[in-house]
Structure formats: C-alpha cells, structure tokens
Amino acid sequence: MSLPLTELVLASHNAGKLKELQAMLGEHVRVRSVGEFSDVEPEETGLSFVENAILKARHAARVSGLPALADDSGLAVDALGGAPGIYSARYAGGKDDAANNAKLLAELANVPDAERGAQFVCALALVRHADDPLPILCEGLWHGRILHQARGEHGFGYDPLFWVPETGCSSAELPAEQKNRLSHRARAMALLKARLGLA
C-alpha cells in the first residue's frame, strides 16, 4: 500500500526514538512527537507487541489528527517461553534497566549457552487515522543469545546482555550507527519504508 505521507506523529515521548526514526525515514517525512499533543499514555492492554503498537498508534492519531506510527518492542527469550516479551521494560516491577538485566540473569542462571537463544522484537503499526481499519504492520526480529554477564557501554535496556553472533560482540559493544543498521527496529523500518515507497 502506498501512502502519500509528509508528516506523521510518533506515539512516543522518547526523544532518542524520535531522532532515530526521523533519521531512518529521511527528510521527506516530518516526524513529530505525540508529546506535542498530549501527555496521556494509553494503557497497553494488548497481549502481543502488534496489539500494543496498534493501541498506541490509534491513540496518537486520535489526539493529533495526524497519521501515526507506533513501535512496541522488547526481548523474547526462548528458555523463558518468550518472556519478558511485552513486559520487557517493566520486567523487574517498573525498576530500571539494571534491575531488569539482573532479574533476567537470575532467571537464566542455570541455563546452558545452547539454550540461551533470544530475539529482540519490534512491531511497527502505522494508521492513517484513529479508526483506520487497515493499519500497516511491519515486524523486525534480531536473533542472538543471552550472555552470562553484561558487556559494553552503548545502547540501553538489555543491550549489554544480548550477544550478536554476526558481529561477535554484545549489542552494547556496537557503535550506534552499526546497531541502527542491524537492529530489530531497523529491520521493521526497512519493511515499512518499502511499503510506503520510501525505500
């Protein structure tokens, strides 16, 4: 589906994510933050990344009157049945990244390397308006495994624990530019740009 798009609202208050997505979309599309229109965060009641992305996109379109893009992402660990999944950001009860990482390491304490497979997941949802019956959905997966201890100083979230086989280092050891080419979000964005005729 091709969509004439010159401006959209990103369903996020995160300035880093806004900058990253603006860079990925290029100068032809102006990306604005939902924070310009509302401070209210919708409740993420979905049971999947896709459902939560759609909820957030519809909310952003409703408060802004613009087409809206939302991203819901997280880490799915094979040995934990896909956890922390949609609860990745609040895995340790709403504490910080360090607490989330500590909990993940504790959960995997006795799991051998061969069973520590994981993937970062990004689901993107783009709606033309709040009641759009045909959201554009794109998903990106970034496969790796969970290390036994943190490595690297870059990135955020679970990056220090996520081993990237094709680079031979953790996600937190990658320069931002390289991570933004390989990541789950980059893969989902590449699909979205192709769908929008921006690739």
Which is it for the CA torsion 22, 150, 87, 136, positive or negative? positive
Q: Would you give the DSSP letter of residue 148?
A: S
Q: Give the span between the Cα atoms of 75 and 105, in whole angstroms.
A: 13
Cα-flanking dihedrals φ and ψ of residue 87, to 5°?
-100, 15
Residue 88's beta-bridge partner residues?
none
Which amino acid type is present at position 82?
Answer: G
Which amino acid type is present at position 119?
Answer: Q
Query: Which of 71, 72, 78, 132 is labelled catalytic?
Result: 72
Q: Which of 126, 179, 129, 109 is nearest to 10 (CA)?
A: 126
The pairing of beta strand 136-146 with beta strand 162-164: antiparallel
Residue pair 77/83 in contact (Cβ under 8 Å)? The answer is: yes
For residue 179, the number of C-alpha atoms closer than 13 Å in the C-beta half-sphere is: 18
> Is it true that the peptide bond before 84 is cis, omega within 30 degrees of 0?
yes
User: Catalytic site residue 78?
Assistant: no
What positions carry a catalytic annotation? 72
